[in-house]
Structure 1
Amino acid sequence: MNSTTKIIGLLGHPVKHSFSPDIHNYLFEKYNQNSAYCCFDVEEDKLKEGVEGIKALGIKGCNVTIPHKVNIITHLDNIDKNAKLIGAVNTVKNEKGNLKGYNTDGSGFVKAILSKGYDLENKKIMIIGAGGACRSIAVELASKGVLSIEIRNRSINKASEIVRTIENNFSTRILCSTEIIKENDLDDIDILINTTPIGMETDLCPISESISLSKDILVCDIVYKPHNTAFIKWAKRNELEVIYGIDMLINQALHAFYIWTGIEPSKEDEECIKNLYKKTIE
């Protein structure tokens, strides 16, 4: 690091669990970028000041995580077309003092599924949660031709907003509910996705672990710490296929790196980052 080192960071609360510094500092070193990635723990009532700090300090860009992905939009100068449709931002680029927001979550999540050899066309999806991650994932899934999406969330307002977005832009059937997931609710579902932070560094599970399934469904968790969340463990006990949170995290991070630098990371980078992650959980 020297006087010309550029800072890129993560805005969220909490951020102490984040693996993003490992990903991006690896990429900066490999591609000879004089940049460093730092985490900034910004509480909800300090978001405006946090974004102003990006401009004041000349920070090159940032990732955005829970709970700021939706609210940060009002503090940015421009929003990418896809992020505007989604209504959530997870990546910001500082272009000479002009802050532009992007969303790489949905594409990162879908890439994780497709790279495992799964077909999304005409699939029936259930998503737990209705935050910024749900928004981006739902929009990306609808654009890939899934048949239906059902959102389960504790409150109806945010879920209803996502329903309206999908209904106004895609042919995918979508509905939402505040009901707790019961066993028979999953009888007609192909893919079950947790987009809440439930399970992050805890043993909590977003559904009842007493639910037992005989049907094969794909279970996906966007939480990556711990690697085997309670949700993933539940899926494995039911002998279900799983997609881990780290797969989405890496994919969205590689896209964000490209936005900031114009450099397209290689497949080799993806494998190297996965190996770095494995060392952190051993």
Structure 2
Amino acid sequence: MNIKGSTNIVGLIGHPVEHSFSPPMHNAAFEALGMDYAYVAFDVDPSDLKSAIDGAKSLDIKGFNVTIPHKIQVMDYLDEIDEVAGLIGAVNTIDFKEMKGYNTDGIGAIKAIEEVTSVKDKNVVIAGAGGASRAISFYIAKYGAGSLTILNRNVRKAQNLAEDVLNSGLIDSVKSGSISTINDCLIDADILIDTTPVGMHPHINDEPIALAEDMHEDLVVFDAVYNPNETVLLKEAIEAGAKPIYGIKMLLYQGAESFEIWTGKKAPIDVMEEALRKTLNLE
């Protein structure tokens, strides 16, 4: 990497950030396109968030990704929030040109799924009702799903999220329920999305949220967990003859979306994916 006086800086703010996969992914993209940019991770304590944003503006930093625990509080320090990010209630990308916040997590999931199938008019089941589920649910609605069912152990959380998505006016049919009813819900489902931490390293042998016997061959199964690459749920999907989508794809596409927001250039997806796979030791 050739850092010069003219180099444009983008980066990540969070607490902690040392294990982020974003710097190698973005820096590989900048290098491949010959762009005078560098991506750096900044560990920002929550008490320093406002001063970090003010400082970034003063230093002419071009953009930030935002991760835990800043995704909600950072909205207080921006001039504008993208419509869907506002509905989600969280920001993971900042463009300093307009001091505008975006949420690319949901679009990352959509683009990962659309490598296999369109979301439009599909019956979608989402397991989990946390931040990732919220981001994905609104984008599933925005991209024209026929119906959405949100399942969670804490049914009240699922109900609250379902009500918020329905009230957005983006979709006409949103249901909620207990994750224990997933078998019944999968009978008519086209797409299953798992946003729970089940099967995430080091708990790679967890009992999956659904088994092969509950799936059908036309089902698309997306697991947002990317470590390990092939989760217990995806192993079940493969056994059932269903179509698996790996969590690394969401990580890739949310990063690509941020790249395009900052630079206005099309992200080199293949380069970014190769860098991610090397970082995750998948090659």
Shorter-chain TM-score bucket reads: 0.7 to 0.9
Deviations 1:90-110 (A, max 9, x none): 210112xx6210122222222
CA gap of 1:229–1:179, structure 2 versus 1, over 3 A, is closer
Change (3 A) 1:220 1:58: same
Matched, 1:172 2:172: yes
**Given residue 86 of structure 2, which amino acid in structure 1 is its aligned partner?**
K
> Mapping of 1:139-154 within 5 angstroms?
139-154=138-153
> What secondary structure, in the 3-state scheme, does the structure 1 residue paired with 2:144 have?
coil
Distance 1:146 1:21, change over 3 A: same
Looking at structure 2, the residues matched to 53 and 129 of structure 1 have their Cα atoms a distance apart, in angstroms, of: 36
CA RMSD of aligned residues (A): 2.9
1:38, 1:196 → 2: CA distance?
29
Q: Deviations over 1:1-22 (max 9, x none)?
A: 1333332112334544432112
CA distance in 2, matches of 1:12, 1:199: 24
Cα deviation for residue 24 of structure 1 reads 0.8
What is the identity, as a one-letter code, of the residue corresponding to 1:153? N
Q: Does 1:30 align with 2:32?
A: yes
Q: Sort the Cα spacing of 1:129 and 1:214 in 2 relative to 1 into closer, same or farther, 3 A.
A: closer
Count residues with an aligned counterpart.
276
Separation in 2 of the partners of 1:191 and 1:119?
Answer: 10
For 2:10, the equivalent position in structure 1 comes to: 8
The answer as to whether partners of 1:28 and 1:35 remain within 8 angstroms in 2 is yes
Shift of residue 219, structure 1, vs aligned partner: 0.9
Equivalent residue for 1:201?
Answer: 201
- Residue 247 (structure 1) shift: 1.6
CA distance in 1, matches of 2:122, 2:38: 41
Given that 2:165 and 2:174 are in contact with CA atoms closer than 8 Å, whether structure 1 keeps it comes out as no
The alignment status of 1:273 with 2:272, answered yes or no, reads yes
Contact 1:128 1:194 in 2 (8 A): yes
Whole-Å separation in 2 of the counterparts to 1:241 and 1:141: 18
Tell me the TM-score normalised to structure 2 length.
0.82
Rounded to whole Å, the distance in 2 between the matches of 1:104 and 1:276 is 19
Unpaired runs of at least 5, structure 2: none
Note the C-alpha offset of 1:165: 3.4
Q: Counterpart in 2 of 1:192?
A: 192
Q: Mark the CA change 1:178 to 1:67 in structure 2 (over 3 Å): closer, same or farther.
A: farther
* Pair 13,244 (structure 1): closer, same or farther in 2 beyond 3 Å: farther
**What CA deviation, in whole Å up to 9, does each residue of 1:113-156 have, x standing for no partner?**
2222x132332111122333322321222122212111123443
CA contact (8 A) 2:26 2:272 kept: no
State the alpha-carbon separation in 2 of the partners of residues 26 and 69 from structure 1: 25
Residue 177 to residue 10, structure 1, CA distance change in 2 (3 Å): farther
CA distance in 1, matches of 2:15, 2:239: 32
Identity %: 39
